[in-house]
Amino acid sequence: MTTRTTPRVRGGVGTSVQRPDGEPKVKGNFAYASDLSSEDMLWGATLRSPHAHARLVKIDIAPALAMPGVHAVLTQDDVVGAPMFGQEDQDQPVLCDGTARYWGEPVAVVAAEDEETARLAAGAIVVEWEPLTPVDDPEIAVEGGSTFRDMRIRRGDEAAVGPVVVEGFYETATQDQAPLGPEAGFAIPDGEGGLDLYITSQWIHVDHRQIIACLDMDPDQVRCHPAGIGGAFGSREDISLHIHIAMLSLATGRPVKMVYDRSESFVGHVKRHPSRMWYRHEADQDGNLVKVTVRLIFDGGAYAHTSRAVIANAAFFAVGPYRCQNVMVDAAVARTNNPPAGAMRGFGAVQTCFGAESQMDLLADALGLDPLELRRRNALGPGDAMATSGQIIEGSLPTIAVIDALESIPLPDPIASDDPLLAPGGTGLTTPVSTVVRGVGYAVGLKNVAFSEGFDDFAEARVVMTTAGVEVHTAAIEVGQGLVTVCQQIARTILGTDRVAVVWSDTSQIGSAGSTSASRQTQMTGGAVHDAAKGLRDQILSVHGGDELRDDGVYARDELIATISEICADGPVEHHVRFRHPETFPPDENGQGDVHAGFVVAAHRAVVDVDPELGLVRVVQVDTAQDVGKALNPQAIVGQLEGGIMQGMGLAVMEELIIDGGVIRNPTFTDYLIPTFLDAPDIETRIIEEGDHWGPFGAKGIAESPTISSTPAIVAAIRAATGRELTRVPVRPSDIVGI
């Protein structure tokens, strides 16, 4: 008989477990998709459209095919299955179908013995183009009725008026996810007409669905395996080279590798929608919002991708985490000849948070109120109705708590004169400390978790007890956010053992986990692992008549009654779950309804030092308080908060794809600027744990929140320092100087 008390399992929920991929990534040992190779492989390369809009008059692949070492040159004529792909709407041809609709659209793909030959062969294809005028202004596209979706929200009384009115026009530029790992894929023929694809993806099952449709193959003929990812942020939610490498591999019977170069990556994935936003806020004299009127135009680029969901999100979060009875939103996402836009961290809520929070500051000014006090007065909480959809907030939403926690963080000291590198201008030594002006700004942001509007959103997981430990089987993608540890921690806590391994499964072995996006995997796959582990535990306890599962077996009243070997006497024991979040519904014609599954709120405070004469900004500190439900892994949360703030800071002061006539003018890391380590602010975080109603242990997904309100907080701080209106992000030095 054993007398020990219940052991506390190591590495369970609530501890800062180290990520298994952390050390290999730092040491350079992590196998990214671009590291995959085999001796007999071919290299793929892509010929792209040199026009934003053009008719393909004639294409001659013969010169490329004639080159030594070239094994295949494929065009749209070689697509045997569905000619089009797309996650929501299948509207994009696999390869150019006679009209190029954006600059860099894939026209033909080549497989050759080596990378340089493939590249040269792509260049040897002769194409005759008839250039057409590109539509590069989304407003003109909307006027012409060329949209992917128009969203209309009508809540309350359109005729309502408030005595205090503020209006503004806001713009956000095109931000790129700029993942360090470029698009990469590896296709291996199985010798029986099928394929194994090793791809970078945020959702291998939805990629699989699109791939087999275009290849006209049965689901079990193609197996999609997740390959090592160097960042995603939404850029891998849509197909890039996946179908191309499959076609090349089938055509040649050889493994095919394709890796985009950095510049190709900039045209090879969807970006954050640039936006134009017209806002009117009306309030009473106490600062209570009376009516918010919003018009949004987002540029979706040439193909749909996730534009329809993005514009809905932008519209539903157009007011922010505030109560308001009367809300009118007219939103449209335009179809243009600009680079296609799609998912990026924050998914539409980033743009409207910039507009809405800029408005809240204007309103606070107009009322002579403290900006945080105005936000507290209007704060949305549990039981309140969403200003836009009217949905009643279930679960937790600690809007006031995050504002209070943020305010309690001490402000940083004034700029020190002893380290000139920490002044605006950095190593350029542009700015005497005496000329620096400091500003402080705030913003609060609201975001939904998981998929909305009635989408059948689920995640599958299988938890398996073996004599060697527990395996968690999932197709959920780890993009670097820390999902593997979260799954391990949940299983450990429920199953009483620290021996838990997460096994990435391919599309033939397990059902979909849904997308690694929308801040959803901690709650969705985490929820599936939670329920599967609990089901497995209950099943084992019931079979053996125990009351507790520990590392070494089943216990009844503190006595070991069945060892792990005995539990697994007939082989591994498993439990499989398909987890669904609370049901959501499509909005009605007025945009009303229970469209979202859950909500998460965060607040940011930015402190900036500005050189007003040069227009240079140093972001000194960005603090945040984040609603997390329950902190499953506190260190992973801090990592997400810091990384998200860096991305939000990028949009605030530097990240912008310059697009001219549909052409990206800065497709390199020399010219597309992302914050360097010297630009990185100090960051203080506060974690607010008010358990939610459906996440595992009450946890919420938090991946997007830090990117949403950090941008407007930084801009508010620059406004405070300079007195400039600053209605566009990124804020440029010339905007601050006023030229």
Partner 1 sequence: MLRLPPLRYEAPSTLEEAVALLAEDGALLAAGGSDLVPNLKRRQYPTARTIVSLRRVADLVGIRVESDGTIRIAALTTLATVVEDSRLPKVLREAAGAVASPQIRNQGTVGGNLCVDTRCDWLNVPDTWRQAAEPCLKAGGEMCWVAPAKKDCWAVSSSDLAPVMVALGAEVQLIGPDGRRSIPIEQLYRNDGMAYLTKTTEEILTEVVIGPHAGLRATYRKLRRRGSIDFPILGVAAAVRLDDADICTEARIVLGAVASAPLRVPTSEEVLVGRTYNAETIAEAAEAARKLARPLNNTDLTSRYRTRMIPVFVRRALEELG
> Which residue in the set 24, 98, 253, 428 belongs to the binding site for partner 1 (CB under 8 A)?
428
Q: Give the residue with the Cβ less far from partner 1, 119 or 154.
A: 119
Stretch that binds partner 1, among 73-81, 140-148, 511-519, 608-616 (CB under 8 A): 608-616
Would you state the torsion angle of the CA atoms of residues 312, 660, 725, 342, taken in this order, to the nearest 10 degrees? 20
In sequence order, what DSSP letters do the residues of 250-319 get, joined into one string? HHHTS-EEEE--HHHHHHHS-BPPPEEEEEEEEE-TT--EEEEEEEEEEE--SS-TTHHHHHHHHHHTSS
> Which residue in the set 193, 253, 432, 572 belongs to the binding site for partner 1 (CB under 8 A)?
432
* 50 makes contact with partner 1 (CB under 8 A): yes
Stretch that binds partner 1, among 12-20, 71-79, 193-201, 658-666 (CB under 8 A): 658-666
Sole residue written with tokens 């009243």:
557
Would you state the torsion angle of the CA atoms of residues 423, 426, 432, 434, taken in this order, to the nearest 10 degrees? -10
Sole residue written with tokens 């340089």:
116
Report d(CA 127, CA 54) in Å as an integer: 11
Stretch that binds partner 1, among 69-77, 82-90, 262-270, 400-408 (CB under 8 A): 262-270
Report d(CA 726, CA 359) in Å as an integer: 12
- Measured in degrees and rounded to the nearest 5, phi and psi for residue 527 equal -65, -40
Structure tokens that stand for 288 in this block: 């209570």
Stretch that binds partner 1, among 21-29, 171-179, 258-266, 700-708 (CB under 8 A): 258-266
Which parts of 170-229 interact with partner 1 (CB under 8 A)? 182
Rounded (to 5) percent helix, strand, coil in the chain: 30, 25, 45
- Amino acid (one-letter) located at 627: D
Spatial contact of 508 and 223, defined as CB atoms under 8 Å apart: yes
Report d(CA 332, CA 307) in Å as an integer: 10
Stretch that binds partner 1, among 139-147, 255-263, 296-304, 471-479 (CB under 8 A): 255-263
Q: Give the residue with the Cβ less far from partner 1, 457 or 611.
A: 611
* 434 makes contact with partner 1 (CB under 8 A): no
Supply the minimum distance, in Å, between the C-beta of residue 715 and partner 1: 16
Report d(CA 395, CA 22) in Å as an integer: 33
Q: Give the residue with the Cβ less far from partner 1, 404 or 642.
A: 642
Report d(CA 273, CA 312) in Å as an integer: 13
Instruction: List residues bridging with 153 in a β-sheet.
Output: 329
Q: Give the residue with the Cβ less far from partner 1, 271 or 618.
A: 618
3-state secondary structure of 632: coil
Q: Give the residue with the Cβ less far from partner 1, 100 or 601.
A: 100
* 675 makes contact with partner 1 (CB under 8 A): yes
> Which residue in the set 614, 684, 690, 691 belongs to the binding site for partner 1 (CB under 8 A)?
614
Q: Give the residue with the Cβ less far from partner 1, 43 or 555.
A: 43
Stretch that binds partner 1, among 306-314, 343-351, 530-538, 730-738 (CB under 8 A): 730-738
* 48 makes contact with partner 1 (CB under 8 A): yes
Q: Give the residue with the Cβ less far from partner 1, 23 or 613.
A: 613
> Which residue in the set 30, 103, 303, 354 belongs to the binding site for partner 1 (CB under 8 A)?
103
3-state secondary structure of 433: helix
> Which residue in the set 178, 251, 663, 717 belongs to the binding site for partner 1 (CB under 8 A)?
663
Total residues belonging to the chain: 739
Supply the minimum distance, in Å, between the C-beta of residue 29 and partner 1: 19
| Size of the residue set binding partner 1 (CB under 8 A) | 49
Supply the minimum distance, in Å, between the C-beta of residue 183 and partner 1: 11
Structure tokens that stand for 728 in this block: 């566009």
Supply the minimum distance, in Å, between the C-beta of residue 492 and partner 1: 39
- Measured in degrees and rounded to the nearest 5, phi and psi for residue 659 equal -120, 120
Supply the minimum distance, in Å, between the C-beta of residue 345 and partner 1: 21
Supply the minimum distance, in Å, between the C-beta of residue 249 and partner 1: 20
Q: Please report the sign of the dihedral spanned by the C-alpha atoms of residue 101, residue 102, residue 103, residue 104.
A: negative
> Which residue in the set 446, 608, 616, 721 belongs to the binding site for partner 1 (CB under 8 A)?
616
Instruction: List residues bridging with 329 in a β-sheet.
Output: 153, 294
> Which residue in the set 97, 136, 196, 264 belongs to the binding site for partner 1 (CB under 8 A)?
264
Stretch that binds partner 1, among 44-52, 218-226, 557-565, 592-600 (CB under 8 A): 44-52
Instruction: List residues bridging with 99 in a β-sheet.
Output: 55
Report in angstroms the alpha-carbon separations of 461 from 304, 451, 535, 700: 30, 18, 12, 18
Supply the minimum distance, in Å, between the C-beta of residue 682 and partner 1: 14
> Which residue in the set 24, 678, 693, 723 belongs to the binding site for partner 1 (CB under 8 A)?
678
Q: Give the residue with the Cβ less far from partner 1, 55 or 665.
A: 665
Supply the minimum distance, in Å, between the C-beta of residue 417 and partner 1: 14
Binding mask 618-657 for partner 1 (x = CB under 8 A): x----------------------------------xx---
Sole residue written with tokens 């008989």:
1
Burial of 168 (0-12, 13-18, 19+ CB in 10 A): middle
Supply the minimum distance, in Å, between the C-beta of residue 725 and partner 1: 18
Report d(CA 517, CA 56) in Å as an integer: 36
Spatial contact of 349 and 644, defined as CB atoms under 8 Å apart: no
Report d(CA 641, CA 626) in Å as an integer: 8
* 682 makes contact with partner 1 (CB under 8 A): no
Stretch that binds partner 1, among 12-20, 45-53, 598-606, 627-635 (CB under 8 A): 45-53
Stretch that binds partner 1, among 406-414, 637-645, 693-701, 729-737 (CB under 8 A): 729-737
Q: Give the residue with the Cβ less far from partner 1, 167 or 660.
A: 660
Stretch that binds partner 1, among 305-313, 386-394, 426-434, 574-582 (CB under 8 A): 426-434
Spatial contact of 339 and 301, defined as CB atoms under 8 Å apart: yes
Which parts of 51-70 interact with partner 1 (CB under 8 A)? 51
Q: Give the residue with the Cβ less far from partner 1, 261 or 690.
A: 261
Which residues does 603 contact at the CB level (< 8 Å), separation at least 6?
Answer: 402, 403, 405, 406, 442, 443, 444, 445, 624, 625, 709
Largest CA distance in the chain: 85
Supply the minimum distance, in Å, between the C-beta of residue 51 and partner 1: 8
Neighbours of 36 (CB within 10 A): 18
Which parts of 475-534 interact with partner 1 (CB under 8 A)? none
Which parts of 122-141 interact with partner 1 (CB under 8 A)? 123
Which parts of 13-42 interact with partner 1 (CB under 8 A)? 34
Report in angstroms the alpha-carbon separations of 163 from 283, 365, 367, 374, 718: 6, 14, 11, 16, 28
Q: Give the residue with the Cβ less far from partner 1, 270 or 653.
A: 653
Binding mask 384-423 for partner 1 (x = CB under 8 A): -------------------------------------x--
Report in angstroms the alpha-carbon separations of 694 from 37, 397, 701: 42, 13, 11
> Which residue in the set 25, 152, 262, 580 belongs to the binding site for partner 1 (CB under 8 A)?
262
Residues forming contacts to partner 1 in the complex (CB under 8 A) are 34, 48, 50-51, 103, 115-116, 119, 123, 182, 259, 261-264, 421, 424-430, 432, 613-616, 618, 653-654, 663, 665-668, 670-671, 673, 675-679, 732-734, 737, 739
